[in-house]
Structure 1
Amino acid sequence: MVAGAVADQQAQGCSGSAKRCGNLTISDPFWLVDLEKGKSCGAPGFEVFCEKNTPSLQSPGRFGFTIINITYEKHNLRAIDKGKLELMQASNTCHIPHSRNTSVKLRPPFRISPANLDLVMYNCKEEVAGARSYDEMSDYASYAVEGCDALVIPVLGSSGNGNASNYEQLIRDCFLVTWDDLPLPLARKFTHP
C-alpha cells in the first residue's frame, strides 16, 4: 500500500527527496509547494512556501510565519509571526500591533509550545490603575484588563534574558511551534521512500 501511494505521487510529478529553501532543508512531513506545477505532494497542513529563499507556513489572512529552523526529531520549529513583524516595521512609534493573537493564526496540526513565554501588549483607551502580575498557570483570559485590548505574542525569551521593554527584539527572536505525529493513515499515504 505504501509503495503504491509513493508510486502515485512520483507519477504525478512529486519527489520524495528533501528540498532546500534558503539555508533550510525541507523534508517529511513538510513539503515545498510548487506553484508552477500546482501539485499537492505531501500531508495537508505541512506545506511550506519558499519566497525569496525564505521558508514560510501560511495562515488564514495575509501573513503567515517565517520558519527559522526545523527540528524534526523533536517535532518543533522556530518561527516568526510575519504579521506582527510587518506591523512593527510600518511605524517608528511605540505602538501595539493590532491584529489577532498568534495562537489563533496557527492551523492544526501546529500549536504554540508551552516552552514559550507570553508577551502581553495592551492598547488602553485611558490610564489603567493597578498593574497585573504574571501568573504562569493562567490562561489568556487572565490577561484581560477593563478598557484595554490585549494582544498575546509567544516569545522564546526566558526570565533571565526576556525583557519586555525590548519587545521588538523578543518578537524578532521567534517562538517555538510544535506538531503531533500524523495520523497513521495519512502517515502511510505521504511516506516517501
Structure 2
Amino acid sequence: MPPLLLLLAVLLLSSTANGYPSTCSNATCGDLTIAYPFWLNSSSPSSCGYRGLGLACEGNTTLILPAQSHHRYRVSYIDYDTRSVFLVDDAEAEALNTTTCPHLHFNFTIDASSALHLTRSDSNITFFYNCKRNASSPSAVELTGCPDYNGSSYAFTGDGYTGAADEYGCEAAVVAPVLDAHKKAMVEAPPASRYVEVLKGGFELNYSPHSVQCGACERSGGWCGYRHNQTHGGPGVVGFACFCDGGPTDDQCESTSGQNYS
C-alpha cells in the first residue's frame, strides 16, 4: 500500500477507535441482543446508551433491568423496530410459584425522567391483602391460600381501586401491570391459577427514540452515553458523553465545517 494511503487508513482507524467505545458494540445475553439505546452495565467505565436502560446479564443467560429499590425485572424480549421491551417481575418470582395467592410486594413505578413508559397494550391487576372488612365491589375476587394473613385478600381486574384499600381496612395494596390481551383471556383459566399465569406473562414498555439530553447528540450523528469525568469532579464522577467519530464530547458532534448541528 502506498505510504499516503497507509497513513489515511491509520488515521481513519484511529478516529473510529476514539469515537464509540469498543465496549459499546452489540452484545448478547442468552438469545437476546443488547443494542443501543440499551447497554450492558458491565461495560464500565463507558456506558453506551440512555440513562436507566443499562441491563445486567446474569449467568450469560438471564437479562435483567434493575429498577427502583433494587427491584428486578427480567427482560423476555426487545423489539427494536417497535421500540418495545417486554418485562416479567423477576423479584416476585417466588410469589408466582404459588397457584392460589400471588403475594406481591412492590408497585411498579416509572421515574418521570425515564425513557421508558407503559403502552396501550398494558392493563392492571390490583391486589388487596389482609383486609379486615369484606370487599363489597362486584369486581373483587377473593384469593385463597394467602400465607400469614388472618383477613381476606382480593384481586381486582379493573382500574382505580387502590384507594378502596383503606375502606376495606387492608394491610397492603399492590398494582401490577400486565398485558391486556392476557388479562382478557384469563377468564377461561381456573380461578386458582388465572392471576399467576397472567402475571407470568409480563407487560410491555416502550422507550422514547430520543431523550432530552440525547436528542442533540443523536441529531448531530453521535451516540449518547456516559463516562467517568476525568476533568470535572474527578474520575469517580460519571457525566454525559456524546460519542462521535472524532471522539467523545460533552454535548454533540461537530460537522465537518466545524459547526454543530442544530
TM-score band by shorter chain is: 0.7 to 0.9
- Equivalent in the alignment of 1:21: 29
Q: Alignment partner of 1:84: what SS?
A: coil
Distance 2:199 2:217 in 1: 34
Following the alignment from structure 2 to structure 1, what is the Cα–Cα distance between the partners of residues 138 and 203? Answer: 23
Q: Give SS of 1:103's match.
A: coil
Q: Kindly provide the amino acid, as one letter, of the partner of residue 70 in structure 1.
A: I
3-state SS of paired residue (1:102):
coil
Contact kept in structure 2, 1:45 and 1:107, CA below 8 Å: no
Look up the equivalent residue of 2:47 and give its one-letter code.
S
Deviations 1:4-34 (A, max 9, x none): 7983432xx433x321100101111111122
TM-score, with length taken from structure 1: 0.76
CA distance in 2, matches of 1:135, 1:171: 12
Aligned equivalents of 1:168, 1:105: Cα separation in 2:
26
Deviation >6 Å, runs of 4+: none
Shift of 1:79: 0.5
Q: Of 171, 180, 184, which residue of structure 1 is paired with 2:208? A: 180
Higher RCO (CA < 8 A, seq sep 6+): 1
SS in structure 2 opposite 1:151? strand
Bigger CA radius of gyration:
2
Change (3 A) 1:160 1:172: closer
User: RMSD of the TM alignment (CA)?
Assistant: 3.2
Q: What is the DSSP-based 3-state SS (H/G/I as helix, E as strand, rest coil) of the residue aligned with 2:91?
A: helix
Residues 127-138 of structure 1 mapped to structure 2, 5 A cutoff: 127-133=133-139, 138=159
CA distance in 2, matches of 1:131, 1:21: 45
Task: Map 1:1-193; keep pairs closer than 5 Å.
Answer: 7-10=18-21, 13-15=22-24, 17-34=25-42, 37-52=44-59, 53-89=61-97, 92=98, 94-103=100-109, 108-133=114-139, 138-139=159-160, 141=162, 144=165, 146=167, 147-148=169-170, 149-156=172-179, 157-161=182-186, 165=192, 166-183=194-211, 184-187=215-218, 188-190=222-224
Q: Which one-letter code corresponds to 2:206 in the other structure? A: T
* CA positional deviation for 1:161: 3.5
Shift of 1:70: 0.6
Q: Residues 170 and 21 of structure 1: is their aligned pair in 2 closer, same or farther, counting only changes over 3 Å?
A: same
Q: For residue 83 of structure 1, give the secondary structure of its aligned residue in structure 2.
A: coil
SS in 2 for 1:34: coil
Q: Structure 2 vs 1, CA of residues 145 and 96 (structure 1 numbering), >3 Å: closer, same or farther?
A: farther
Instruction: Work out the percentage of aligned pairs sharing the same amino acid.
Output: 21
**Distance between the aligned counterparts of 1:87 and 1:192, measured in 2?**
46
**Closer, same or farther: CA 139–5 of 1 in aligned 2, 3 Å:** farther
Question: In structure 1, what is the equivalent of residue 256 of structure 2?
Answer: none
Paired letter, 1:86: E
How far apart in 2 are the matches of 1:106 and 1:192?
28
CA distance in 2, matches of 1:33, 1:125: 41
Amino acid at match of 1:181: P
- Contact kept in structure 1, 2:86 and 2:204, CA below 8 Å: yes
Given that 1:32 and 1:50 are in contact with CA atoms closer than 8 Å, whether structure 2 keeps it comes out as yes
Q: Give the secondary-structure state (helix, strand or coil) at the position aligned to 1:114.
A: coil
Q: 2-side partners of 1:150 and 1:38: how far apart?
A: 40
Cα distance in 2 between the residues matched to 1:115 and 1:186: 31
Unaligned runs of 5+ in 1: none
8 Å contact from structure 1 (residues 96, 122) kept in 2: no
Greater mean deviation of Cα atoms: 99-108 or 176-185: 99-108
Query: Which SS does the other structure have where 2:129 is aligned?
Result: strand
